[in-house]
C-alpha cells in the first residue's frame, strides 16, 4: 500500500528534511510517494496524480491525499527551456517540470515572474498575471475533484481531500490571502470526498511552535510536519478502517 501526497509548498520539503506525508505513511504502514511541489498548482497536482495512476505507480488500495492550493495557480509552457533542454543544456528542469521528453512547463503563481531565469518566461508570467481570473482556476479545480472522485472509485483507490492551508479551511483562505482572493463561498461545493482539517485555531499563538517561524502562517516547521503527520495518520486509519 502506498500513501501519495500531492500539494504545494505546504506539503513539500520547504526548509525541512521530513514532511507530514512521510510521518502519516509510517503511521499506517504504507510506502510514501511524494507528489508535492513548492509553487505547485492544482493543475500540477492533478497531472502528477493522473500520471501515476496511468503508470500503475498508484493502484488499488493505495491512498491519495490531495492538499488543494490557490486555484488561480497554474502551469505555463516554456518553449525556451524546452529548446535548451533538447539541445543538451542542463539545469533548466530545476526551475520547472518536464512533462514529456524535453517539453517543459513552469509553475505560475502571483509574482512568480520574479524567479524565472529566461526572458521569455518572465514576460509570459507577467502577462498571465495581468490577465488571470479566479473563475477559471475554480472551474478547473472543481472539474479535477469531480473527475478524480470517479477515477479513484474505478481503480479502487482511496481519496482524502485536504481542504486546508495551514489549518484553516479553504473557505476561509479568502480572508488570509487579501492580496489575491480565492473565490470559494461554500465548502459544500466540494462535498465530494473525505474532508480533513488539522487545526481550526491555527492562527492562535499556541500553535506557533508548528510554524516554520512565527511570522510564517503558511508552512510547517519540522515539529509541525511530525504533528500533522501523526494526526493525519490517525485520521486515515479511522476513515479507511486500516
Phi, psi of 121 (to 5 degrees): -70, -40
Mean pLDDT by 10 residues, the chain (242 residues): 95 95 97 96 96 98 90 92 86 76 92 94 96 83 86 95 52 37 35 41 73 82 88 87 94
pLDDT of residue 192: 29
pLDDT of residue 43: 95
Boundaries of every domain in the chain: 2-72+135-240, 75-131
Question: At which residue does the C-alpha cell 513552469 appear?
Answer: 106
The pTM of this model reads 0.85
pLDDT of residue 19: 96
Nearest to 137 by CA among 66, 75, 218, 55: 75
pLDDT of residue 199: 52
pLDDT of residue 161: 80
In the chain, where does DSSP find H-type helix?
20-28, 42-55, 79-86, 119-131, 134-155, 170-176, 222-240
pLDDT of residue 38: 93
Is 2-72+135-240 CATH 3.40.50.1110? yes
Are the beta carbons of 95 and 85 closer than 8 angstroms?
no
pLDDT of residue 135: 75
Amino acid at each position: 500500500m502506498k500513501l501519495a501526497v500531492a500539494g504545494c509548498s505546504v506539503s513539500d520539503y520547504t526548509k525541512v528534511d521530513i514532511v507530514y506525508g512521510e510521518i502519516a505513511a509510517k503511521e499506517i504502514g504504507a510506502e510514501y510517494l511524494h507528489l508535492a511541489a513548492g509553487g505547485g498548482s492544482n493543475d500540477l497536482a492533478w497531472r502528477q496524480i493522473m500520471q501515476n495512476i496511468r503508470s500503475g505507480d498508484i493502484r488499488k488500495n493505495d491512498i491519495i491525499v490531495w492538499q488543494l492550493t490557490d486555484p488561480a495557480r497554474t502551469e505555463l509552457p516554456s518553449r525556451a527551456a524546452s529548446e535548451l533542454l533538447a539541445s543538451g543544456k542542463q539545469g533548466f528542469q530545476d526551475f520547472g517540470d518536464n512533462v514529456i521528453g524535453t517539453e517543459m512547463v513552469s509553475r505560475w503563481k502571483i509574482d512568480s515572474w520574479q524567479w524565472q531565469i529566461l526572458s521569455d518566461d518572465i514576460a509570459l508570467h507577467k502577462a498571465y498575471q495581468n490577465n488571470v481570473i479566479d473563475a477559471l482556476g475554480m472551474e478547473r479545480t472543481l472539474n479535477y475533484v469531480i473527475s478524480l472522485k470517479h477515477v479513484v472509485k474505478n481503480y479502487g483507490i482511496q481519496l482524502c481531500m485536504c481542504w486546508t492551508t495551514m489549518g484553516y479551511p479553504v473557505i476561509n483562505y479568502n480572508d488570509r490571502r487579501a492580496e489575491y482572493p480565492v473565490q470559494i463561498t461554500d465548502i459544500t461545493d466540494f462535498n465530494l470526498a473525505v474532508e480533513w482539517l488539522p487545526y481550526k485555531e491555527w492562527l492562535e499563538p499556541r500553535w506557533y511552535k508548528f510554524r516554520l517561524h512565527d511570522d510564517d502562517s503558511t508552512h510547517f516547521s519540522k515539529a509541525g510536519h511530525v504533528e500533522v503527520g501523526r494526526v493525519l495518520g490517525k485520521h486515515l486509519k479511522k476513515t479507511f478502517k486500516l
